[in-house]
Each structure stands twice: as structure tokens, then as C-alpha cells.
């Protein structure tokens, strides 16, 4: 039986796809057979971040509608052996995802995979609800900013009332807070909500804090999940998050401002 993890947020553009790519890569790197599914039907992007956009032949909707088999649609990652990508359709509407169709695909994947990571589209409507329906665990991606925190709380409400686990009266979906695009300098200046502020408001366990980092954009330019930039702050922060997801204890890092000396400032450009 696979464990199903949804990466969700409500608000758009907060880092769900970046996170889905890195978490699935991190799980696979540790030897777990992992598939990452792009639920953003109509706005496929995970393929670009995973550098497999030119290898997409069939997609998630094709499989649901029986036009292709799972094996035809799954793309095997070229870097990590145990990682597969199921791309979203670029030409359909989100409504092409039906509860039964998604269930069929997830059940089939469950037979052979250890982890199924679902990259949710933005919003709280049909597409987002399909992505989270079958989840066992949810990574709620949040930026330290008012509208993102509020939307995260709304998505938590949906996880607690409209997921399969909620509807069936089973144990609730396990919730994790992932605070991304965090800027400790701005927090120290009082311009940005702190980790503690967001934890206090949302009241769910903290999985990790991903710093705002130029490395993320650089990595996505090249189609590299940032977790593979092993020397970078964001890459290491994602690696910590994956370790914690697997139950390892790791101290939180990258939460305080670096005191930069004159020389490092000169050489690193700030």
C-alpha cells in the first residue's frame, strides 16, 4: 500500500510544484519507489521542473479515460532510479478529473509504489479537491504573508471535511506545515510574519522552513528539483523536510538571519 501525500496551499504561486518536485525526488533518492502526479490539469508545469517536458506522450487524463495505460503515461526520471512522473493534461479542463477516475489510477499505482505525491493546482475548487481527496498526509505550503496563511487555513478546513478520510470517518489526514520563501532578515526587521507567528495561527506541526533563495529559480531554469542542489540552503532545507516526513528528527535550520561579514558581503554580492 502506497502512502499518498498531497502538496496543497489554496493560494497560487506559493511553491507547491517546487515542493512536489523536491519531496518526491528526496523520497526516491532514499530508495522509496515514488510517483509524483501533476493534478494541475490545463496548466501542466511539473514536467518542466522535472525536466521531462519533451518526453510527455500520454497524460493523467488519458489514463483516466482509458486512452492509454499507466505504463504508457508514466515517465521514468533520468536522475533518480525509483522516481516516476505522471504529467497533467495540457488541453483538458479540471473537470476531466473525476473521483472514480482518480481512484482507479491511484489504486493501480498503490500496488507498486511506496509513495504517491500529488501536486495540487491552486484554489479550493474541484481540481484542488480531487488532489487532496485520497490523501493520507498533506503538506500545506504557506508563505509568510496574510493571504497565503488565510488560504492555508481554508484548505485545512477542506482536508478536515471533504477528504476521503473525513468522509469515511477514518483517522484524519496528517497535516504538515511547510513555510516557504522565508526571509529571516525581513522577519527580524518586523516586516514579515515569523515561523512562530504562522505556527501559532495555523496550529499544525511544522515540517520545515524553506528560505527564499535564488537557487530555486536557477534550478527551475534548468529543470532540476532544487533538493538536488545539495550545497544550497533551499536544497538542504528540503532534504531536512523529507527526512522529517519519514520520521527522522532534524533540527530546524535557515530560520535566523546570517550575520554577514564585510568580505562575504563583498564577494557574494550582499
Partner 1 sequence: MSFLDYFRSKKTSSASVAKERLQIIVAHERGQREQPDYLPQLQQELLEVIRKYVQISDDMIQVDVDRNDDCSVLELNVTLPEK
CA-CA distance, 148 to 9, in Å (whole number)? 8
Contact set with Mg ion (CB under 5 A): 16-17
| One of 33, 126, 150, 252 touching partner 1 (CB under 8 A) | 150
Q: What is the CA radius of gyration of the chain?
A: 18
Q: Say if residue 11 carries a ligand binding annotation.
A: yes
| One of 194, 215, 218, 252 touching partner 1 (CB under 8 A) | 194
Could you tell me which of 3, 2, 8 has the C-alpha nearest to residue 162?
A: 8
- Partnered with residue 116 across adjacent β-strands are 4, 35
Binding of partner 1 by 169 (CB under 8 A): no
Could you tell me if 35 and 80 are in contact, meaning their C-beta atoms sit under 8 angstroms apart? Answer: no
CA-CA distance, 132 to 95, in Å (whole number)? 15
Least distance between ligand ATP and beta carbon 170 (Å): 28
Closer of 167 and 188 to ligand ATP (Cβ): 188
Could you tell me if 77 and 28 are in contact, meaning their C-beta atoms sit under 8 angstroms apart? Answer: yes
Q: Say if residue 18 carries a ligand binding annotation.
A: yes
Least distance between partner 1 and beta carbon 155 (Å): 12
CA-CA distance, 160 to 86, in Å (whole number)? 27
Closer of 108 and 199 to partner 1 (Cβ): 199
Closer of 79 and 189 to partner 1 (Cβ): 189
CA-CA distance, 110 to 179, in Å (whole number)? 29
Binding of partner 1 by 157 (CB under 8 A): yes
Binding of partner 1 by 247 (CB under 8 A): no
Q: Say if residue 17 carries a ligand binding annotation.
A: yes
Contact set with ligand ATP (CB under 6 A): 9, 12-18, 40, 121-122, 180-181, 210, 212-213, 216-217, 220, 234
Binding site listing for ATP: 11-18
Amino acid at each position: 500500500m502506497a502512502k499518498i501525500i498531497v502538496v496543497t496551499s489554496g493560494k497560487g504561486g506559493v511553491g507547491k510544484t517546487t515542493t512536489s518536485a523536491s519531496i518526491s525526488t528526496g523520497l526516491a533518492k532514499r530508495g522509496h519507489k515514488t510517483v509524483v502526479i501533476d493534478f494541475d490539469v490545463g496548466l501542466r508545469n511539473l514536467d518542466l521542473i522535472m525536466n521531462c517536458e519533451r518526453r510527455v506522450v500520454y497524460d493523467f487524463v488519458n489514463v483516466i479515460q482509458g486512452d492509454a495505460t499507466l505504463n504508457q503515461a508514466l515517465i521514468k526520471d533520468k536522475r533518480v532510479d525509483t522516481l516516476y512522473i505522471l504529467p497533467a493534461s495540457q488541453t483538458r479542463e479540471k473537470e476531466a478529473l473525476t473521483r472514480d477516475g482518480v481512484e482507479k489510477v491511484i489504486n493501480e499505482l498503490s500496488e507498486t509504489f511506496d509513495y504517491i505525491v500529488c501536486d495540487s493546482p491552486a484554489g479550493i475548487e474541484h481540481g484542488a479537491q480531487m488532489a487532496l481527496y485520497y490523501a493520507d498526509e498533506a503538506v500545506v505550503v504557506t508563505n509568510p504573508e496574510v493571504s497565503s496563511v488565510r488560504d492555508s487555513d481554508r484548505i485545512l478546513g477542506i482536508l478536515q471535511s471533504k477528504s476521503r478520510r473525513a468522509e469515511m470517518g477514518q483517522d484524519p489526514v496528517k497535516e504538515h506545515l511547510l513555510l516557504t520563501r522565508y526571509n529571516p532578515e525581513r522577519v527580524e526587521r518586523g516586516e514579515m510574519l515569523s515561523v512562530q507567528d504562522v505556527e501559532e495561527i495555523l496550529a499544525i506541526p511544522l515540517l520545515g522552513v524553506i528560505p527564499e533563495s535564488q537557487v530555486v529559480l536557477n534550478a527551475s531554469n534548468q529543470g532540476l528539483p532544487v533538493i538536488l542542489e545539495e550545497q544550497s540552503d533551499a536544497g538542504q532545507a528540503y532534504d531536512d523536510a523529507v527526512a522529517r516526513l519519514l520520521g527522522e528528527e532534524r533540527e530546524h535550520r535557515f530560520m535566523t538571519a546570517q550575520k554577514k561579514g564585510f568580505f562575504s558581503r563583498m564577494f557574494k554580492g550582499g
